[in-house]
A and B are shown apart, each in its own frame.
Chain A
Amino acid sequence: MRPEDYIDPNDTLSHALGSAAEQMPARARNRVRREVLHAARADARRRWFAGISRRFAVGMTVASVLGGGFAYATETSLPGDALYGVKRGAEDALVALLPPGGLEHRVLVGLAARRAAETAALARRGVDSDLVGESLGELRAAVRQATPADGAMPADDMARIRERAGDAPDATRAAIEGAVSGSGTDTGTSGAQTGPTIGSTDSSSSDTTQDPDETGTDSPGDGDGSEQTGPGYQSNDDAPGPGN
């Protein structure tokens, strides 16, 4: 028997059993400690970077929605573009994280302004009228979401959203005005009331209604049409960010 294993026969049961606990050899103890802490540190670093990336992404989205002037390809993509889903996903994630209150309202108004800018940009790009109509429907939904519970959108918020559609073709701009003021027909996702004909859905703007073929293509003479080379080309100019 090793001396360290000796138990005094007069000892208590607790002490006798306690001394039966097998000690972890010091070398093994240190080795396992190194292994475990190495893995823990690596995992902690990974988590830290993941957290930073997430905070950075949310920060960038907030900044771009509120007018930080960041113009990334993702932020400036339009419905139908490859990155548009990413952009909307980031927005949804951001909205889910925001606490109720002033910042949330400002972000929601900013997102509605984005939808207005997207609708205007699509109309100027001369895309399929269905796509413009869908975008108009998204605008209406965003306006509804940004409208406070008492049902009244502050005038300066409405102005901020309208401002983003200032460079839209006349008929589209009128439809956007109607969507923002709530006077437009809430059927924006219907292809029957899209793009060039959207003005007709707004009785208050019937005087601006144009022929579908005329408004469905880019407005001649505004300079943008001749420069468009692809879906993403004018995205910087049409960037939905308020800074643009």
Chain B
Amino acid sequence: MTERSLARMVRRAREGDARAFGRLYDEYADRVYAFVRSRTESPQDAEDVTSVVFMKAWEALGGYDDRGLPFTAWLFRIARNAVVDEYRRGARRPIPVEDLYVTEPAVGGPEEAVVAAADARRLRAAVRGLTDDQAAVVALRFWWNLSINETAEALGKNDNAVKALQHRAIGSLARILRKEGSDEA
């Protein structure tokens, strides 16, 4: 969807057009689900939270002002809040990797280690071990395809903070994957 048609769909949905909101769902459902799934225990939980995200987005759209936060960033904030609500509801929170793995990788760069995993399923599992901020940066940068600046806007941080978070996230992923590899060996 082009930026222009996205703006049109948002405007129509804001005016109460459910069909336009359906188009927005089609555009964003996978991205929302991917992020939510990385923060929830089961696919069923992720589906439920995804549903909640879009319900809340519909309710809040009337007050959305496109002169403020871009729609994508706005929707991500709703998704993030829904995940936090899910934690509060009593769901088990993923344990941040930094609590588990504190040692630096012995050899090779972290980026090489992540790519060398060669298995998307292992990578997904590793992302679940990231802290909330790190997982948010991974989701926004690599799954939602936002720029550093757009990611910073969505997270309410500055560009440098996002760069640092991304760097730490890649390092953490590398540590998790190497730990897994050494355990298997």
Contacts and interface: CB of A to CB of B under 8 A. Distances in A.
Interface in A1-37: 1-2, 4-14, 16-25, 28-29, 31-33, 35-37
Interface in A136-166: none
B123 A17 contact: yes
Which of A1, A5, A6 has the most CB atoms of chain B within a 10 A radius of its CB?
Answer: A5
A33 B127 contact: no
A20 B127 contact: yes
B95 interface: no
Nearest to B110: A13
Interface stretch (A40-48, A86-94, A95-103, A190-198): A40-48
Contact of B47 (A7, A14, A28, A40): A28
B76 interface: no
B115 A11 contact: yes
B13 to A, nearest CB: 8
A39 interface: yes
Nearest to A29: B29
Q: How large is the interface on A (under 10, 10 to 19, 20 to 34, 35 or more residues)?
A: 35 or more
Contacts of A16: 114-115, 117, 123
B54 A36 contact: yes
A22 B33 contact: yes
Given A28-B43, A29-B29, A36-B54, A41 B18 contact: yes
B47 A20 contact: no
Do most interface residues of chain A lie in helix, strand or loop, or is the interface mixed? helix
Interface residues of B, number: 42
Contacts of A23: 30, 33-34
A9 B116 contact: yes
A10 B112 CA distance: 9
A16 to B, nearest CB: 5
B115 A13 contact: yes
B51 interface: yes
Contacts of B31: 21
Interface string A176-210: 00000000000000000000000000000000000
Interface in B87-140: 111, 114-121, 123-124, 127, 138-139
B172 interface: no
B58 interface: yes
Contacts of B123: 7, 16-17, 19-20
B38 interface: yes
A20 B159 CA distance: 24
B17 A12 contact: no
B22 interface: yes
A25 B143 contact: no
Interface in A32-71: 32-33, 35-37, 39-41, 43-44, 47-48
B82 interface: no
A5 B117 CA distance: 10
Contact of A44 (B16, B37, B51, B119): B16
Interface of B: 16-18, 21-22, 25-26, 29-31, 33-34, 37-38, 43, 46-47, 50-51, 54-55, 58-59, 111, 114-121, 123-124, 127, 138-139, 141-143, 145, 170
Interface of A: 1-2, 4-14, 16-25, 28-29, 31-33, 35-37, 39-41, 43-44, 47-48
17 contacts: A1-B121, A5-B121, A16-B115, A17-B114, A17-B141, A18-B142, A22-B46, A22-B124, A24-B37, A25-B43, A32-B47, A33-B22, A33-B25, A35-B51, A36-B21, A36-B58, A39-B58
